[in-house]
Amino acid sequence: MSKTIEVTSPFDGRVVGSVPFNSVEEVEAAINLASETFLDTKKALPAYKRVEILEKVVEIMSSQVDELTKLCASEGGKPWIDSQVEVHRAINGVKLAIEALGAREGKQIAMGHTVSSANRIAYTLKEPIGVVAAISAFNHPLNLAIHQVIPAIA
């Protein structure tokens, strides 16, 4: 069973929550599971499902702006207004990921410059190449997590 770490407010030292503290072996197991899942293309979510998930994230976050602001302020020790800006930036980050999903397009590569490429067309499309592990800094906990997790979902 994993240990937990208490998260304290830098403002007054009170405990604002707790997070799991995983061993190196537990992190490696999570990365391996994520990699195996990523490679199983039969289970990949189609774009419209990912859009649905991200739209739900926007809906939930938008309905909890004050709660998220309070959490960011207490965890990061920032003023309320700065924390509120962070929450709105995070929501906007999810919206931008949704837009990027809709604008996903490839690029045609010029062909016909040689005999072997005459009457041929080449097309490139960006695709994810694998799994990463990310650690966020403390100063913008919500916004940084959004910028790491949401593009992976998108």
pLDDT tens, position by position, 74-88: 888 889 999 999 999
- For the chain, the domain total comes to 1
| pLDDT value for 54 | 97
What are the pLDDT digits (tens) for 9-60?
A: 888 888 988 989 989 999 899 999 999 999 998 988 898 999 999 999 999 9
pTM over 0.85: no
CATH of the domain at 97: 3.40.605.10
Structural domain that includes position 87: 45-153
What H or E segment, with its residue span, contains residue 33? Answer: helix 24-39
**Residue 25 within any structural domain of the chain:** no
**Four-point Cα dihedral 58, 87, 21, 7, nearest 10:** -140
